Each structure stands twice: as structure tokens, then as C-alpha cells.
Amino acid sequence: MIDTNRLLLRPYEPGDERAILALSADPAVRRFIGNLPDSEEGARTRVLRCAGHWSLFGFGTLAVVERPSGRIVGEVAASYFLVSAIPLTISDVRRRAKAVAA
């Protein structure tokens, strides 16, 4: 979790499905965040997928919560995507994530 005066960045939680669907309905958000769901079932799947990513890799998607309103206004993520035929170990992914965060 990352906490500032204006924003709270936290993992998605059960109950965030409506907020995810609200983000999904905004064309400006869809321009920058891919693979957003169009249904409650899809939103639940997204919450579970994000939780699984954290569980497996120790990093993942964070909901961006606006402090004054408590509203989810976006998300930010460090994700593991297999983009080449060269397999990466979890330690490779963590090392790369730390380098990006530095």
C-alpha cells in the first residue's frame, strides 16, 4: 500500500467491482488501461486475477483511491507478462521490478 495526502494506492478488494465497471465505462480510461471488463463477472475476475498476481509474484495492480472522495479513480500496475520465448524466473521478475521502482 502507498499512502499520500491525496491518494491511496492499494490492492483491489472484493467489493471494488462497481468501481472497476465505472472505470470501464469511461472512454478516457479505456484509452490507457487495457483489458477492462464489461460485466460484474468480469470485474470479479479482475479482482481475483489481480490478487493472484500479488500472491504469485509479490507485486501487481493497485487501485488508485482519491482520498477526499474515497473513489477509485484509476489503477497502476507492475505486471509479469511473458513477452518472449525466453522464460524468466520469479527472481528475474522481482529484480527487474525493483530496478524499475528505483
Tell me the per-residue pLDDT of 45-81, one tens digit each, with 9 for 90 and over. 999 999 988 888 888 899 999 999 999 998 888 776 6
Residue 81 confidence (pLDDT)? 64
How far is the CA of 50 from the CAs of 4, 6, 13, 15, 85, in angstroms?
A: 22, 23, 9, 14, 24
Q: Which residues contact 76 (CB under 8 A, 6 or more apart)?
A: 9, 61, 62, 64
Tell me the per-residue pLDDT of 1-44, one tens digit each, with 9 for 90 and over. 889 999 999 999 999 999 999 999 999 888 887 788 999 999 99
| CA–CA dist 25, 37 (Å, integer) | 9
Residue 93 has pLDDT above 90, yes or no: no
Superfamily of domain 1-99: Gcn5-related N-acetyltransferase (GNAT) (3.40.630.30)
Residue 15 confidence (pLDDT)? 95
